[in-house]
Amino acid sequence: MASEYIELPPDDSSTVNSNNQPSLMVDQASLNQHITIDFLTLDQNIEAITNNVAPNTQLWPVIKDDAYGHGAIPIAKRLAPQVHGFCVVRPLEGVILREAGIRQPILVFEPPNERNIAVYTSHNLIASVSHIRHLDLLESGCSYHVNIDTGMKRLGAPIEELPVLTQAIQKRKDIYGKGVYTHFYKADDPGSTTVAEQLDLFQRLQSQFPTEWLRHTANSGAIFHYAKQLPLSFDAVRPGVCLYGYSAGNQAIDSLSPLLSWQSRLVHHQPVKKGESVSYGARWRAPRDGWVGVIPVGYAHGLPRLLSNQMQLSIEGTLYEQVGSITMDFTLIWLGENKIPLGSPVFLLDADQLRANVWAEKTQTIAYEITTRISPKVPREYVG
C-alpha cells in the first residue's frame, strides 16, 4: 500500500496548555507532539535540594527563560507554597509572573535600565544593583540586592567599585537593600578550587552590608557539590538546572530526575530496500529491506540537527535508531521489519534512557541549552 501522510487530530491530551500562543503558531506538527512536565518529579527534586542544604535555608528557584523551557508560570505556581522567592533574568519575566498571580519576592538578575525601571515599582520586583548608576535609577520604595563579582566577570560589581557603591547606598534611605549575592563560575566541577576562593572573597566583602540582608551564592553545582564547604552561602540558594532534574556538570546526581518528556507520533512510514538512502545528503542507507517511520518534529522545534544518526527514540518501550539527516520539520526512524502503526506514540525524551543530558553530550553542549531551545511551538502539558 502506498503510504500517505496522515494528519491526525489533536491527541487525547485535552489538558495541553498552549501557552497562549498565537493561533498561527499552532501548526499541524504542534498537534502531533507535546512535552509533558511531571510535577511529582519536581517535588522530588525539591526534596533532593532541601536534603542537601542546611535547615531553614530559603529556596529562591531560578525560573528564567520560561523555567529553562519548562514553562515559568506553571512551575512558579507549583513551587510557590514551598519557596521564599523566585529569580528571573529580565523584568518582563517578573511582570508575567506577577500578572499570573505570583506573590513571592522576585529577584531580577539583569541590571535595571531607564526603559524598564518603572516596572520594578509597579510590579514589586527586586532589582540587582552592581553600580551606582543602577541605584540612581531606582524609584523610591524599590527593593534591591547587591550583586558582587567574585570571579565570574559578568554582571556583578567589581571589588574596586564596592567602596563607592556602599557609600551611595548609605545616602539612599528611600530604597530598600535586602540582600547581597555572588555567582560561582565553576561549581559544576566537583574538583574545583575556585568555589572556595570565591566564597572566601564573598565572606570578606559581605561584612560591609547590614546583617539583616540575605546572603546567597549557591547555584545547582554548589548545592550538590559544595554544600558542606559553604555554610555561609546558605541563607538562601538559587537552584536552577537541578530543579528540572539535571546535574550542572558531568557528574550524574542520582537523586535528580528530569521533569520533562517529549512525545510525538508516527505520522508516516514507508518501505526502503537494502542499500537505499534516506533524507538529505544520503547520510544513511538501509542495512536490509525494512520500514522507515517519520515523526513531525525537526530542528525547527528544537531537536538538534547534530543528533542526526546519533539518537534513539522509544516506541512502546523499545528503543529505535534515528536515521538520516534530521530535517527542519521531520525526523526519520529505522523501524526494521516492524511496520509500526501510524499514530503510535514516539518518545524523543523521557526520564529514563532518553535524557536531555545525553543529547547534550553528543552535541557538545549542556542540558540547559537543550531544554531552553525546545520551541514554544511545542505544547506543554502538566501532570501530577
Ligand X SMILES: *Cc1c(COP(=O)(O)O)cnc(C)c1O
Which residues of the chain form contacts with ligand X (CB under 6 A)? 62, 64, 109, 183, 219-221, 238-242, 248
CA proximity to 240, closest of 60, 361, 44, 56: 60
Minimum distance from CB of 241 to ligand X (Å)? Answer: 4
Shortest reach from residue 194's CB to ligand X, in Å: 15
**How far is 160 from 57, CA to CA, in rounded Å?**
30
Cell of 77: 505556581
47 Cβ neighbours under 8 A, 6+ residues apart: none
Nearest CB to ligand X, comparing residues 217 and 327: 217
Residue with smaller CB distance to ligand X, 78 or 183:
183
CB of 300 to ligand X, least distance (A): 26
Q: How far is the CB of 113 from ligand X (least distance, A)?
A: 18
φ/ψ of 358, rounded to 5, equals -70, -45
Specify the DSSP element, H or E, that contains 283. Answer: none
Nearest residue (CB) to ligand X, 218 versus 295: 218
- Nearer to ligand X by Cβ, of 248 and 348: the residue is 248
- Are 155 and 109 in contact by the 8 Å Cβ rule? The answer is yes
Q: Which own/partner pairs from 305-310 qualify as long-range (CB within 8 Å, at least 24 positions apart)?
A: 306/362, 306/363, 306/364, 307/359, 307/362, 307/363, 308/283, 309/283, 309/284, 310/362
If DSSP codes are grouped into helix, strand and coil, which group holds residue 372? helix
Closest residue by beta carbon to ligand X: 240
**Which residue, 246 or 299, has its beta carbon nearer to ligand X?**
246
Q: CB of 183: closest distance to ligand X in angstroms?
A: 4
Q: Is 316 exposed, middle or buried (0-12, 13-18, 19+ CB in 10 A)?
A: exposed
Smallest separation (angstroms) from ligand X to the CB of 248: 5
Give the closest residue to 284 by CA, choosing from 333, 250, 247.
333
Work out how close the CB of 383 gets to ligand X at its nearest, in angstroms, rounded to a whole number: 23
